[in-house]
Amino acid sequence: MGKYFGTDGFRGEANVVLTVEHAYQIGRFIGWYYGKRENKKCTVCIGKDTRRSSYMYEYSLAAGLTASGADANLLHVTTTPSVAYVTKTEDFDCGIMISASHNPYYDNGIKLINSKGEKMDEETILKIEDYIDGKIEPIPYAKGEEIGCTVDYAAGRNRYVGYLISLATRSYKGMKVGLDCANGSAWMIAKNVFDALGAKTYVINNNPDGVNINTNCGSTHIEGLCQFVKENQLDIGFAFDGDSDRCLAVDENGNVVDGDLILYICGRYMKEIGELSNNTVVTTVMSNFGLYKAFDEAGIEYEKTAVGDKYVYENMSNNGHKIGGEQSGHIIFSKYATTGDGILTAIKLMEVVLEKKMSLAKLASPVKIYPQVLINVKVKDKKAVKEDEQVKAAIKAVEEELGDSGRILVRESGTEPLIRVMVEAKEADICELLTRKVVDTIKSRGYEA
């Protein structure tokens, strides 16, 4: 990770960590860099989520791009995966998504996407950071007819919607589907897709006001959708996050079907129909023991990466795997997308339900999930926590107590000033007790922010 950009872009509190000046500088560098490298006018597409500050960053990025001679094509409010899709299929030099994903409204972020629809390479990111820090000589302004244009490109977003609809294998007629749009990027797109496919849609949290994105809703607060599905006797429900690159599901009984269960259901189905390349599903180290036991019973192999859909995709791309993802709901179907796509994930789950003629609860039932407790500690210095000898000793003591019956994972957040402490064991009270031991040690050492 660089100085400004983490595993999922440049993210932080709007105009505190990530300022309009940063956005302008990023636009200036990208417009100049790609134009110079390709020896032509640079073209960039920009999408944003529903945060109030997203509009501010959109205009600042567009100003920087056009001042360097690039054209800024505005997709307006849309999803992160739609920006990746449009960038790749319509030959843009770069794509930019303005979003802090599942973070609260007062945070925001800038995600950079290369011409292949993938996350920007580290070399280019470091050059952008050098420019922000004044380590690169001033970039000349475009003049006269070389000044770039700002273009309304809502048509690109509409083509993405058409692409999603084209991926469905059956009509959804007769299916009662709940959608929690998190007051974010999916608020129009998800309903349009499911309506077009014939579902009877029941939508909640689709009234964004600039400050209610992810607030007690969406994939990070799925309890509302669980209750909604039960009360309305729906067949299935899907919850997205702020930029709709995540999806968690709810079965007909109101139970959560998380990313691990989605990987199992879709991975097993892909194996049955001969589409599971290398007979392998890519997971992260956060995936549950129960998932791996179920994969073993189904004869499916798996790989584990560091946490982050960036690392999942790298593994898939390097090894030719077709499905991978995270417990949090970032699911990548590499045949159809280069990034996690919440609405695509919902479509693929619907395919399994309809083709197998089985309920979501039945499809998920072979996986027996081990209890997990995850506690996030906001800290002043993530690196200092990981290097502290007393914290290390507390972690080792928990590892010894768990033995082969569970595990502990302590890691830094790639996007926030957090240390995440997770314990997995056969009993929930043991998870809670052992997680607290490490968290209390971190706090007693004075690292809590």
- For 245-288, how does the pLDDT look when each residue is reduced to its tens digit (9 = 90+)? 999 999 999 999 999 999 999 999 999 999 999 999 999 988 99
Give the model's pLDDT for residue 426. 85
* 241 known ligand binder: yes
Give the model's pLDDT for residue 405. 79
Query: What integer is the mean pLDDT of 93-107?
Result: 96
Q: What is the fold of 372-444?
A: TATA-Binding Protein (3.30.310)
Distance between CA atoms of 41 and 69, rounded to whole angstroms? 7
Is the pLDDT reported for residue 62 higher than 90? yes
CATH number of 5-154: 3.40.120.10
Distance between CA atoms of 101 and 233, rounded to whole angstroms? 30
Give the model's pLDDT for residue 132. 97
* Higher pLDDT among residues 2 and 113, named by residue: 113
Q: Provide the mean pLDDT of the chain.
A: 95
- Sheet with 247-250, strands from edge to edge, namely 200-204, 176-180, 236-240, 247-250, 256-257
Distance between CA atoms of 296 and 211, rounded to whole angstroms? 44
Rounded to 5°, the CA angle 320-325-327 comes to 160
Give the chain's length.
449
* 130 known ligand binder: no
Same topology, domains 5-154 and 167-364? Answer is yes
Token pair for 56 = 């501010």
Instruction: Of 167, 23, 209, give the one whose Cα is nearest residue 81.
Output: 167
Going by pLDDT thresholds of 50, 70 and 90, the confidence category of residue 1 is low
Any idea where the domains of the chain sit in the sequence?
5-154, 167-364, 372-444
Residues belonging to the active site: 101
Query: What integer is the mean pLDDT of 214-243?
Result: 97
* Higher pLDDT among residues 73 and 307, named by residue: 73
* 260 known ligand binder: no
Is the pLDDT reported for residue 114 higher than 90? yes
Q: Considering the chain, what percentage of its residues have pLDDT values greater than 90?
A: 90
Q: Considering the chain, what percentage of its residues have pLDDT values greater than 70?
A: 100
| Cβ atoms within 10 Å, residue 49 | 31
* 440 known ligand binder: no
Assigned architecture for domain 167-364: 3-Layer(aba) Sandwich (3.40)
Residue-wise pLDDT tens digits, 310-342: 899 999 999 999 999 999 999 999 999 999 999
Give the model's pLDDT for residue 2. 72
Is the pLDDT reported for residue 38 higher than 80? no
Q: Are the C-beta atoms of residues 326 and 259 closer than 8 Å to each other?
A: yes
Residue-wise pLDDT tens digits, 136-167: 999 999 999 999 999 999 999 999 999 999 99
